[in-house]
Structure 1
Amino acid sequence: MRLFKSGFAALFCLLLLLTLFALLQPWWTLPSAWNPRTPLSLDDAITPVTRWKMHQLQSAPQHCLALLNSAEPDALQHMPLEDYTPVAGCPLSNVVRVQRTGVRFSAPFTLTCPVAVSWLMFERQRLQPLAEQHFGESISRIQHFGTFACRNIYHRKNARRSQHASAAAFDVAGFTTQSGVRVSVLKDWNNQSAANKSAFLHDVHDAACDYFGTVLGPDYNAPHANHFHLDNSNFGYCR
């Protein structure tokens, strides 16, 4: 918690300094990714300001949906959903139903809009370039374990609600390339006989930390041995 607060304070100071400098120097134009007054774009590079804008989407549902709607049809097929309660005690709000993005998924899923934005930016900016780097081709399919589950963390009776209880977390289990190469988090995280697969997974995990508030993988604990957990509940918790 202390690390989170100090990181947020540092980001706030940076935003303030950038804004003041832009106001005092009218000849200087901030790039969109560094300008806190410019709306977020799916093409913005990741900077501390971009991360702040992504965090703001959690309280700006209409802006978030408009951002998703700005994606090209081949980059996202989705349907906005009205707020509803699929299971008593776990209401869902600001969620969308994702059919596919630039990749196919093992099944459609419901996800909060801000996490969907994070995924889109991550997929196009880092996931696919990393696939090209390690395999010479792009990812065509994602195997996942879902997003929504009305439960507490680790199913503990007295624990806080999981991010999955609000469909605000995405569990990614594996990847398949265009030619059919399969990469499994469980089997290939430390697969010494397929070093390129292991290196790809480690690079994907590290890259995801720039786009999601919380990223958990096999090195975090046993329950995450077979997937990457991605959500936006923190501001840079990467394990």
Structure 2
Amino acid sequence: MNKLLLRLAKLLALLALCLLIYLTRPWEAVPAAWNPWAPLSVEHQLTPVSRWKLSRLKLAPEQCRNALATAPDNVLDYMPLEDYSPVEGCPLENVIRINRTDVAFNSPFTISCPWAVAWIMFERNELQRLALIHLDNQVKRIDHYGSFACRNVYNREEGRRSEHATASALDIASFELVGGERISVLRDWARPGESKAGDFLRAFQDSACDYFGTVLGPEYNQAHANHFHLDTSNYGFCR
């Protein structure tokens, strides 16, 4: 009888604990950027949890569009696109057309939704903060060399497809600041401490590595001497 009462008491205690957890909902007190069950928003700070959510967007187009929709209207001017094949052999899926974000671009570009979410988060958390720290200014416009190109890596006849073939990469060449000053990757990349512009470019690359799977810059090889390549493949490949 005593054993039966002890088991009953343990069961009642467990039920009471479950009820308490249900009523108090402690998971709701966890910040959304740290909550594995909270939908990703572009307003979230980068945490190990939000970084994990970013990495999952490739496999979840609907979640990606929902995350993109959390951007304020004045932060992202874009057009969702249907899946299509602009060039035979290079179908595009889950892509959008970006006209501008919180900064202007030299031209609109088609890019994958996961890339766009990573960029908006990076832009809101890091880009202007780094510009203020290193340049005492803000970025007004970004010049790029394009996102989509139906080709293999380095335009080789054989080998794996470039991330540009799925519009999952953008090549960034320069930054125009408020007031008109231009920071060029080709001209202003320098060793640490040599110039404010060079320090900004290095800080940009280092921070972008937290948001994008692959970031390549001038020290990777000669082909990247004049731009940063940002794409959503792999994770943590930063050169």
What TM-score does the superposition give when structure 1 sets the normalisation length?
Answer: 0.86
Does the C-alpha gap of structure 1 residues 36 and 77 become closer, same or farther in structure 2, counting only changes over 3 Å?
same
Q: Deviations over 1:2-53 (max 9, x none)?
A: xxxxxxxxxxxxxxxxxxxx99x96464322222111111121111211110
1:56, CA displacement in angstroms? 1.1
Find the aligned partners of 1:237 and 1:37 in 2 and give their Cα distance: 27
Gaps in structure 2 of 5+ consecutive residues:
1-20
Q: Determine which structure has more spread, i.e. the larger CA radius of gyration.
A: 2
- 2:128 match: 128
> Sequence identity of aligned pairs in percent?
53
Tell me the secondary structure at the aligned position of residue 154 of structure 1: helix
- 2:32 match: 32
User: 153-162 vs 65-74, which deviates more?
Assistant: 65-74
Q: Deviations over 1:46-103 (max 9, x none)?
A: 1121111001111111221122122111100000000000000000000000000001
Tell me the secondary structure at the aligned position of residue 209 of structure 1: helix
Does the C-alpha gap of structure 1 residues 192 and 210 become closer, same or farther in structure 2, counting only changes over 3 Å?
closer
Find the aligned partners of 1:125 and 1:134 in 2 and give their Cα distance: 15
Tell me the secondary structure at the aligned position of residue 210 of structure 1: helix
> Is 1:112–2:112 an aligned residue pair?
yes
RMSD: 1.9
Is residue 43–residue 70 contact of structure 2 (8 Å, CA) maintained in 1? no
> Is 1:215–2:215 an aligned residue pair?
yes
1:238, CA displacement in angstroms? 0.8
Q: Which one-letter code corresponds to 2:60 in the other structure?
A: A
- 1:10 match: none
Gaps in structure 1 of 5+ consecutive residues:
1-21
Tell me the secondary structure at the aligned position of residue 220 of structure 1: coil
1:194, CA displacement in angstroms? 6.7
Tell me the secondary structure at the aligned position of residue 145 of structure 1: strand
- 1:137 match: 137
- 2:237 match: 237
Aligned length: 217
Find the aligned partners of 1:159 and 1:119 in 2 and give their Cα distance: 28
